[in-house]
Amino acid sequence: MSTDPSMAAPVRLEPVRRFLNTLDVESGTDAITDTAGLATWLTGADLWHGDALVTEEELRHARDLRGALRAAATANHDKAALPAPVRSVLDAAAERAGVRIRFTPDRGWRATTGVDGVDGALGELVLRVVGSMTDGTWPRLRICARDACRWAFYDSSRSGTGKWCSMQLCGNRAKQEAWRGRRRETG
């Protein structure tokens, strides 16, 4: 994991990137292992201001959604197809949030969530993904390709082919590991 600010996503997508990073593989921590953790995170992210308790079922839903979005961000590396189980979790999240289209006076439209609570808050994250897919920024949200890291980062490189959250840290380490692996094989 790197705290390099250059890996931040555009404003619309940044809360999604942070949601994916509630799981920190490198340090082995997870901010949403229990209902209180999820409530704290959603409140801190300004997505939810409920005073009701988060249920175990909502926690499961949040963790499923995070897993699906992490898988989707991993698929962004090589434009891989989204597996059906990932799509059904995303579809279900939109459904639970009562996502709907509202037309606006400026001859446009916007998508909104139709429910409050945790489902609505998670639906807001899904809508941000949808917005990002629409404006073309989504393919640049990725999971770091170094297995020990897997930090979600936004690839702002010109080529748009970044594999690691940080070339200095993970990129070099991954290359060293590959080099050592090759040396083991040949020697």
Shortest Cβ 83–Zn ion spacing (Å):
23
Among the listed residues 149, 154, 155, 174, the single contact to Zn ion using CB under 5 A: 149
Among the listed residues 20, 71, 165, 174, the single contact to Zn ion using CB under 5 A: 165
94 binds Zn ion (CB under 5 A): no
- With CA atoms as reference, report the closest residue to 21 among 48, 44, 50: 44
144 close to 168: Cβ distance less than 8 angstroms: no
CA angle in degrees (0–180, nearest 5) for 14-91-103: 75
144 binds Zn ion (CB under 5 A): yes
Question: If DSSP codes are grouped into helix, strand and coil, which group holds residue 127?
Answer: helix
Sole window of 27-35, 52-60, 134-142, 148-156 interacting with Zn ion (rule: CB under 5 A):
148-156
170 binds Zn ion (CB under 5 A): yes
Q: Give the nearer residue to Zn ion in terms of CB position, either 26 or 30.
A: 26
Sole window of 33-41, 111-119, 130-138, 157-165 interacting with Zn ion (rule: CB under 5 A):
157-165
Q: Give the nearer residue to Zn ion in terms of CB position, either 134 or 176.
A: 176
- With CA atoms as reference, report the closest residue to 122 among 26, 57, 74: 57
Shortest Cβ 27–Zn ion spacing (Å):
12
Strands 109-112 vs 23-24: parallel, antiparallel or unpaired: unpaired
Cα 66 to chain centroid distance, Å, stands at 6
